Amino acid sequence: MSEAMEREPVMSDKAPSDALPAAAGAAAGPISGGQKALLTKTAKATGWVMIWRLFTRTIGLISTLILVRLLVPADFGLVALGTSFAQAIDALSVLGVDDVLIREKSPTPALYNTAFTLNALRNCLTALLILLTAIPVASFFGEPRLAHILFALALGTVAEAFENVGIIDFRRDMTFEKEFQLRLIPRLAGTIATITLAFLWRNYWALVVGILLTRFLRVAMSYTMHPYRARFSLSAWRHIIGFSLWTWVISLVVLMRDRTASFVIGRLLGPAQVGIFSIAGEIASLPTTELIQPICRACFSAFAAARHAGENLAETYLRVIGSTSLLTMPACVGIALVAEPLVHLALGPRWMSAVPLLQIMALGGVFTVFGAISGTLLSSHGVLAPMFRIIMFSYVISATLFIMLTLKLGLIGGVIGGTLGSFLETSFFTHALFRRYGVTLGGLFGHIWRPFLATGAMAGLLLGSGLTHVAANADAATLTRTLLILIPLGVVAYTLALLIVWTVAGRPQGPETDLLSLVQPVLRRLSTLFRGRRARAG
């Protein structure tokens, strides 16, 4: 069962009233015990989110490899069409009431009950809209079976309306391992059911039943894993609605922003160019989807907790930026450098026109972390009106650049315009955060200059190796061998360069120490386990 057929929660939130600490210095300094504990909890939470993503992708790949031998492509297409339509309707009504509870220091039962009621109403209305549009949509696509799929998906949406609101505490308390457990069993059960029914039925209903079973089980488990029992109430709606309205408006703009590029390319250049653009974007965004998004999901709770505890948010933000850049900077540049042999091997020579697009997008992704984490901090503190203005203004400029450069330079011009627009939005977000929380450019540079230099050293070595460019007629064995040299070489070069730069700088407190403080307990535990096994074997 494909990961694309399952929904993931979204984030956002309302305005803080408390003032924030003074500016962070130009270099990384010592942090308080509370900040250190918070960073450790954030890293652990991020780890659980990443484990979930890895598990989801792995089980999705395994199940897909099995299901493609049992079902025909039309079955997958029907269900994908139905889930995409249902998710689009769902995205139009995002309220983000869960995040109100996360950012509240002491949420009351009235807030929980109101959040539960609003979520229930939203899901029921979404299900009703899916029901009402099911037959017209099926008629539009000329596929009567699509209506039945949408009816079933509407039933699943109604079930999700009654999920236990108490499980929001898993994110509030940053106990993401419980959230992992909550999602693990339903996903496994749904996948097993899908494969079993595909053997028996050999049609698309196996996929639909698997999706429904996953959702029903998750709702049931939400009540076994958390004792809270909500009542229907709207007593705290005034407290929630201001934030929810902004969240809804922002989600609409983001939806338009994310769909504009494909629409423009399809209209001006044709569907084939949309495919090339989509593939390049999917590969280039791997550091964002697999690293930055999980980190931001954990950081939303962490920034809210830091505000509750009165911690120095400027320093906490900078340490998170530094630690994240430690991973994303070399990942983005590395993808750009191995793009040519990677695309040639994975997709074939017909897709080589995607290489320059992939390189531009990947290099632009280096700056994504700043905007993403800045937006998460602003959202976790409910600074939504400025966020809306930034996103809307950036979207107008970005869409204009994209259209103009696509008309002038073709697909590569559109990618350049989109990357410039993304960089502009990141700059606005970062500037807004700097002004609000007293962060300085020197403070930011003090936390990222070592990963920046190490990434430059890695790039220089890989480019100097001459392996980043491959011949047009290279065979699979040559391409595989090239990647098996380039990727480990880049990892080793970056790691050694980072250690050298950090040592020369006097091993200051910063992202390196944060990473080591997390890795060392794991290494000690593995070492103890290994010694114990050797002793038992002896």
Per-residue pLDDT of 137-192, as tens digits, reads: 899 888 889 999 999 999 999 999 999 999 998 888 888 888 888 888 999 999 99
Q: What is the pLDDT of residue 192?
A: 93
Q: Comparing C-alpha atoms, which of 286, 370, 361, 325 is closest to residue 50?
A: 286
Q: What is the pLDDT of residue 27?
A: 44
**259, 227: one domain:** no
387 in a domain, yes or no? yes
**Which tens digits make up the pLDDT trace of 432-452?**
999 888 888 888 898 899 999
- Over the range 256-284, which residues count as b (16 or more CB within 10 Å of their CB) and which as e? ebeebbbebbeeebeeebbebbebbbebb
Q: What is the pLDDT of residue 520?
A: 65
- Over the range 212-223, which residues count as b (16 or more CB within 10 Å of their CB) and which as e? bbbbbbbbebbe
Residue 537 pLDDT grade (very low, low, confident, very high; cuts 50, 70, 90): low
**97, 42: one domain:** no
Contact present, 433 and 311 (Cβ < 8 Å): no
Reported pTM: 0.75
Q: What is the pLDDT of residue 330?
A: 94
**75, 165: one domain:** yes
- Over the range 34-50, which residues count as b (16 or more CB within 10 Å of their CB) and which as e? ebbebbebbbbbbbbbb
**289, 398: one domain:** yes
**Mean pLDDT (whole number) for 89-115:** 82
Contact present, 514 and 323 (Cβ < 8 Å): yes
Residue where a domain terminates, one of 235, 257, 273: 235
Is 26 buried (19+), middle (13-18) or exposed (0-12) by CB count in 10 A?
middle
Q: Which region among 6-10, 189-193, 319-323, 363-367 has the lowest average model confidence (pLDDT)?
A: 6-10
Q: Report helix, strand or coil for 19.
A: coil
When divided into structural domains, the chain yields a total of 2
Q: Comparing C-alpha atoms, which of 451, 534, 438, 444 is closest to residue 498?
A: 451
Q: Comparing C-alpha atoms, which of 101, 117, 206, 199 is closest to residue 163?
A: 117
525 in a domain, yes or no? yes
Question: Could you please report the per-residue DSSP string of 425-476?
Answer: HHHHHHHHHHHHHT--HHHHHHHHHHHHHHHHHHHHHHHHHT-SS--TT--H
User: Distance between CA atoms of 423 and 414, rounded to whole angstroms?
Assistant: 14
**115, 178: one domain:** yes
Q: Report helix, strand or coil for 45.
A: helix
Q: Which region among 73-77, 100-104, 304-308, 521-525 has the lowest average model confidence (pLDDT)?
A: 521-525
Residue 28 pLDDT grade (very low, low, confident, very high; cuts 50, 70, 90): very low
Residue 521 pLDDT grade (very low, low, confident, very high; cuts 50, 70, 90): low
Q: Enumerate residues 6+ apart whose C-beta is below 8 A from 245.
A: none
The CB density around residue 62, as the number of other CB atoms within 10 Å, is 12
**32, 155: one domain:** no
pLDDT at position 485 over 80: yes
Residue where a domain terminates, one of 205, 235, 265: 235
Q: Comparing C-alpha atoms, which of 150, 169, 217, 183 is closest to residue 52?
A: 183
- Over the range 316-332, which residues count as b (16 or more CB within 10 Å of their CB) and which as e? bbbbbbbbbbbbbbbbb
Residue where a domain terminates, one of 235, 260, 292: 235
Q: What is the pLDDT of residue 464?
A: 92
Q: Which two tokens stand for residue 309?
A: 């505890």
**286, 250: one domain:** yes
pLDDT at position 34 over 70: no
**Which tens digits make up the pLDDT trace of 303-348?**
888 777 777 778 888 888 888 899 899 999 999 999 999 988 888 8
7 in a domain, yes or no? no
313 in a domain, yes or no? yes
Query: Any idea which residue has 């699979």 for tokens?
Result: 476
User: Distance between CA atoms of 416 and 411, rounded to whole angstroms?
Assistant: 9
Question: What phi and psi, each to the nearest 5 degrees, are found at residue 359?
Answer: -65, -45
User: Distance between CA atoms of 266 and 166, rounded to whole angstroms?
Assistant: 44
Domain of 516 in residue numbering reads as: 14-51+246-529
485 in a domain, yes or no? yes
pLDDT at position 409 over 70: yes
**85, 218: one domain:** yes
Q: Radius of gyration of the chain from Cα atoms?
A: 24
**Which tens digits make up the pLDDT trace of 259-308?**
788 888 888 888 778 878 888 888 888 888 888 888 888 888 888 887 77
**358, 474: one domain:** yes
**Mean pLDDT (whole number) for 373-378:** 89
203 in a domain, yes or no? yes
Going by the DSSP 8-state scheme, the letter that residue 26 receives in this structure is: S
74 in a domain, yes or no? yes
**107, 255: one domain:** no
Strand residues in 98-209 grouped as ranges (E)? none
61 in a domain, yes or no? no
**25, 88: one domain:** no
**175, 117: one domain:** yes
